[in-house]
């Protein structure tokens, strides 16, 4: 472990790059947020108050009417039908103060999925409602759902990556190593996949998923679909690299020692592509995140009642909604921030591992 | 090899690829548990005769390879079946393809006009403040999700009322004169083009900058400078011509990602393009239409790559076509 912090390693270089450092800090915060989602979230994923659909964000007060400092408190909203505009208007109800409580009891959950507990970072007194970022159409807390949604949006890309890259590596490795007819056939198949505009293929695949699946089945299949879209282009590059590596002497040596082909490909050839693979992997995480959120945004990815940033942003599709309820745009902002941070880190990784590339520096 | 022969050869090479694409698309659709005629049956305006004809054309009771064969033979004759709305699939595609091409081609042209000079500028002022600012802006542009940016612009359009929301033409478009028609379409195209340009601009600008930086270090540039050539000549005659080549190769790739990116943008802006068509088809499980759109998407992509290769040959005489 110590070695990683010594000079001239990937991590020490990354820590010296200002942009990458900012990116890594932001990502750290995001991932801590989703890891401790149940602890931080004041409400559970499914909690809903049907009387408070599209409630605006709760206002937190630290100074009371007399102008004295006070323990932070909030007011509830009252919903009233406005006969002039035919809309539901929200008004702050100043009759009752609700004090915030820290590290106090809320809904039951398992801390880190193991320890059953009721303690939450922040809650509000009973009958008070604490919606940091307002509520959605069903009166669910947006802030809590963003945390739970992040659990899906920020992990699905990685999972897809860990399916598509091994496939791409092996596929490209075999095609490049054997060459000839095998290579020809394998590459034509990969090209066929690449010939369909990826988003068209993505939505077609997502649309044929049966509707009556459990949410974990759906999550798995969406991951598989994302991986399926990604491997072909990657395998082509690997094949190109393998073509040039396979004629080198150490491969010949291994052949002469009688190693079988698969062993040569996996043990001797593919490790040579490592720095390209690391760069390509870091740079492709954002693509997967964007693909998942795009799918869910269209209603083809993660489905309600599960939250993902994409399907939360779906509510912002109606412009009546976004004009009167700008807090519904927060999921989009989070996708943007996450993708930006991954890009910053990815660019730095590329600069370090591929010194010839001058795209950034 | 002369260019026409090369084009012919490439098109011939494309045919097996398209065959594979069609097999794959067909298998994907057949994996679906949905009855392809379910939607047609629900549409009261479709007569039982049409329905029967579709059943025979698709050969739904035959084994899968025969079904595919039937689809292929009718598709090569230009019959792509009917969509769930009862129109011919080919008519619907023909109506949408020009719109998507219009959107993507305008985007590519504008992106190039902006990205190439910016890339050159950033490379020539390497590590200057402007260069840093451009790098930051391009990082932001690359990270913003197309649909999110489109939503933000939609709010802007609705709040200010400066831009029409949705569609490609206004009501009463037929009665406009040529000039008004042009203005009206430009007005509608502005926001979608802005979204797509912003997103592809960043990558292209970085690429141009990187190429230019590489080339500026090459020996022949040092040579040109050493023999006392004016700096303008060095940059625009020697460096630029070489730096632009990889960009032409990227054109095909650019086109592919634009086709995909356009789908979400078209959806948010309700733009009548191919991307929105396939999306609607997918949501309605309009099998004939999905199949045809996948094929058309693939054909457009392959043609885009072919055009990029030919352009590359035109700008770089060193490249031999084979």
Q: What is the pLDDT of residue B1?
A: 67
Q: Which of A157, A200, A233, A296 to mutate to test the interface with B (most CBs of B within 10 A)?
A: A200
Instruction: Compute the Cα dihedral for A139, A144, A146, A149 and give only its sign.
Output: negative
Q: Are B253 and B301 in contact (CB under 8 A)?
A: no
Q: What is the DSSP letter of B163?
A: S
CA distance A225 to A217: 12
Instruction: Compute the Cα dihedral for A30, A32, A34, A37 and give only its sign.
Output: negative
Mean pLDDT computed over A167-185: 91
CA distance B252 to B300: 10
A360 pLDDT band, cuts 50/70/90, is very low
d(CA B222, nearest CA chain A) in Å: 19
Lowest mean pLDDT among A128-132, A191-195, B201-205: A128-132
Q: What is the DSSP letter of A209?
A: S
Confirm or reject contact between B209 and chain A (CB < 8 A): yes
A230 pLDDT band, cuts 50/70/90, is confident
A212, closest residue in chain B (CA to CA): B33
Mark which residues 108-147 of B lie under 8 Å from A by CB. Answer: 135, 139-140, 142-147
Q: What is the pLDDT of residue B111?
A: 92
d(CA B177, nearest CA chain A) in Å: 32
Interchain proximity A192–B144, CB inside 8 Å? no
Nearest Cα neighbor of B271 from B149, B79, B98 is B98
Bigger pLDDT: A236 or B171? A236
Q: What is the pLDDT of residue A80?
A: 79
Q: Which two tokens stand for residue B143?
A: 């990270």
Considering only the beta carbons, identify the residue of A191, A201, A357 that sits closest to B210: A357
Q: Which two tokens stand for residue B151?
A: 């939503």
Q: What is the pLDDT of residue A1?
A: 43
Bigger pLDDT: A178 or A103? A178
Q: Which of A27, A190, A199 to mutate to test the interface with B (most CBs of B within 10 A)?
A: A199
Interchain proximity A322–B140, CB inside 8 Å? no
pLDDT exceeds cutoff 60 at A5: no
Q: Which of B103, B118, B158, B260 to mutate to test the interface with A (most CBs of A within 10 A)?
A: B260
Q: Which two tokens stand for residue A151?
A: 């659990």
**Can you give the pTM of this predicted structure?**
0.86
CA distance B11 to B262: 26
Residues in chain B with pLDDT values less than 70: 1, 33-36, 39, 57-59, 84, 321-322
Q: What is the pLDDT of residue A331?
A: 92
Q: What is the pLDDT of residue B159?
A: 83
CA distance B68 to B51: 19
d(CA B156, nearest CA chain A) in Å: 9
B87-96: long-range contacts, CB 8 A cutoff, minimum separation 24: B89/B288, B89/B289, B89/B292, B90/B292, B92/B277, B92/B289, B93/B274, B93/B277, B93/B292, B93/B293, B93/B296, B95/B272, B96/B272, B96/B273, B96/B274, B96/B276, B96/B277
Nearest Cα neighbor of A157 from A291, A311, A300 is A291
Measured between beta carbons, the chain B residues lying within 8 angstroms of A343 are 139, 142-143
pLDDT exceeds cutoff 60 at A353: yes
The burial of A340, by beta-carbon neighbours within 10 Å (0-12 exposed, 13-18 middle, 19 or more buried), is given as buried
Q: DSSP per residue over B93-128, as a string? A: HHHHHHHHHHHHHHHHHHHHHHHHHHHHHHHHTTTS
CA distance A152 to A160: 12
Q: What is the pLDDT of residue B59?
A: 67
Measured between beta carbons, the chain A residues lying within 8 angstroms of B135 are 360
Measured between beta carbons, the chain B residues lying within 8 angstroms of A313 are 147-148, 151
pLDDT exceeds cutoff 80 at A356: no
CA distance A342 to A355: 19
Interchain proximity A322–B268, CB inside 8 Å? no
Contacts of A209 (CB under 8 A, 6+ apart): A218, A221, A222
Measured between beta carbons, the chain A residues lying within 8 angstroms of B33 are 208, 210
Measured between beta carbons, the chain A residues lying within 8 angstroms of B145 are 290, 293-294, 332, 335-336, 339
Lowest mean pLDDT among A7-21, A293-307, B299-313: A7-21
Q: Which two tokens stand for residue A268?
A: 């001797």
């Amino acid at each position: 472990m110590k070695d990683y912090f010594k000079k001239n390693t990937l991590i020490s270089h990354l820590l010296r790059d200002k942009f990458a450092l900012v990116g890594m800090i932001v990502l750290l915060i995001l991932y801590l947020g989703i890891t401790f989602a149940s602890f931080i979230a004041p409400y559970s994923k499914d909690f809903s108050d049907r009387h408070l659909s599209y409630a605006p964000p709760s206002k937190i007060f630290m100074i009371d009417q007399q102008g004295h400092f006070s323990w932070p408190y909030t007011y509830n909203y009252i919903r009233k039908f406005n006969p002039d505009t035919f809309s539901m208007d929200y008004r702050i109800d100043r009759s009752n103060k609700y004090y915030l409580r820290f590290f106090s009891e809320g809904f039951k959950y398992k801390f880190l999925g193991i320890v059953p507990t009721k303690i939450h970072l922040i809650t509000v007194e009973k009958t008070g409602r604490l919606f940091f970022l307002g509520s959605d159409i069903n009166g669910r807390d947006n802030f809590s759902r963003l945390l739970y949604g992040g659990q899906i949006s920020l992990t699905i890309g990685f999972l897809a990556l860990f399916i598509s890259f091994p496939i791409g590596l092996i596929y490209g490795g075999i095609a490049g190593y054997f060459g000839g007819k095998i290579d020809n056939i394998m590459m034509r198949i990969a090209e066929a996949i690449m010939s369909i505009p990826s988003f068209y293929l993505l939505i077609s695949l997502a649309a044929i998923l049966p509707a009556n699946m459990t949410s974990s089945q759906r999550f798995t299949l969406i991951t598989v679909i994302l991986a399926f879209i990604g491997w072909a282009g990657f395998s082509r590059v690997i094949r190109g690299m393998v073509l040039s590596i396979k004629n080198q002497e150490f491969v010949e040596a291994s052949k002469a020692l009688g190693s079988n082909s698969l062993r040569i490909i996996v043990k001797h050839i593919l490790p040579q592509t490592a720095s390209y693979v690391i760069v390509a992997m870091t740079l492709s995480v954002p693509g997967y995140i964007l693909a998942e959120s795009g799918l869910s945004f269209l209603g083809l990815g993660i489905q309600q009642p599960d939250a993902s940033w994409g399907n939360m942003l779906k509510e912002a599709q109606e412009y009546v909604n976004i004009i009167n309820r700008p807090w519904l745009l927060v999921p989009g902002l989070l996708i943007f921030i996450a993708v930006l941070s991954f890009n910053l880190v990815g660019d730095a990784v590329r600069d370090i591992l591929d010194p010839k590339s001058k795209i950034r520096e | 090899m002369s260019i026409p022969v090369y084009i012919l050869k490439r098109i011939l090479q494309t045919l097996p690829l398209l065959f594979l694409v069609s097999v794959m698309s067909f298998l994907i659709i057949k994996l679906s548990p949905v009855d392809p005629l379910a939607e047609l049956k629900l549409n009261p305006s479709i007569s039982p005769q049409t329905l029967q004809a579709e059943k025979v054309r698709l050969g739904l009771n035959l084994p899968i390879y025969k079904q595919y064969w039937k689809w292929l033979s009718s598709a090569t004759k230009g019959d792509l079946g009917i969509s769930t709305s009862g129109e011919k699939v080919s008519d619907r595609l023909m109506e949408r393809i020009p719109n998507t091409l219009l959107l993507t081609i305008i985007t590519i042209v504008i992106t190039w006009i902006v990205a190439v000079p910016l890339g050159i500028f950033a490379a020539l002022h390497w590590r200057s403040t402007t260069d840093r600012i451009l790098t930051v802006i391009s990082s932001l542009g690359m990270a913003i999700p197309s649909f999110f940016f489109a939503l933000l612009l939609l709010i802007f359009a609705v709040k200010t009322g400066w831009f029409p929301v949705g569609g490609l033409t206004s009501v009463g478009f037929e009665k406009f004169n040529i000039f008004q028609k042009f203005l009206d379409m430009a007005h509608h195209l502005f926001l979608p083009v802005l979204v797509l340009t912003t997103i592809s601009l960043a990558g292209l600008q970085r690429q141009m900058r990187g190429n230019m930086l590489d080339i500026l270090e090459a020996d022949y540039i040092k040579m040109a400078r050493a023999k006392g050539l004016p700096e303008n000549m060095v940059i625009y005659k020697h460096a630029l011509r070489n730096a632009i080549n990889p960009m032409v190769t990227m054109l095909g790739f650019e086109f592919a990602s634009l086709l995909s990116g356009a789908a979400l943008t078209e959806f948010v802006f309700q733009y009548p393009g191919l991307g929105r068509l396939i999306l609607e088809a997918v949501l309605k499980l309009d099998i004939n239409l999905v199949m045809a759109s996948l094929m058309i998407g693939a054909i457009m992509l392959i043609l885009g790559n072919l055009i990029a290769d030919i352009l590359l040959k035109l700008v770089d005489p060193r490249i031999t076509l084979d």
